[in-house]
Amino acid sequence: MSQPQEGQHPLVCPRCRSAAIEVLSNSPIAGVWTMYSCKTCLYAWRSSEAEENTNPDKYPEAFRIKPEDIPKFPKVPAIPTLRKS
């Protein structure tokens, strides 16, 4: 997968492969980097990062997630029970 050109969005999120991608920001110097965010898993990355962070095929398998698993994830941090004094 090649890096998207300025003004183009990546095809899918590197972590969950969702197509729900948005541009968060662009570099102050035009064309240096674009900051993307996945609306599904909330992963964020710059276009200038290493391919293992931007390319879904090279993203570390141990850190990949499936969008259908997200609702099953625990809420962290858990809210502790109030102490009685």
pLDDT digits (tens, 9 = 90+) for 44-71: 999 999 999 999 999 999 999 999 999 9
Residue 46 one-letter amino acid: R
Contacts of 41 (CB under 8 A, 6+ apart): 13, 15, 16, 18, 65, 67, 70
12 to 30, 74, 76: CA distances (angstroms): 23, 25, 26
| pTM score over 0.85 | no
Mean pLDDT of 68-79: 88
SS3 16: coil
Total residues belonging to the chain: 85
**pLDDT tens for each residue of 7-25:** 455 689 999 999 999 999 9
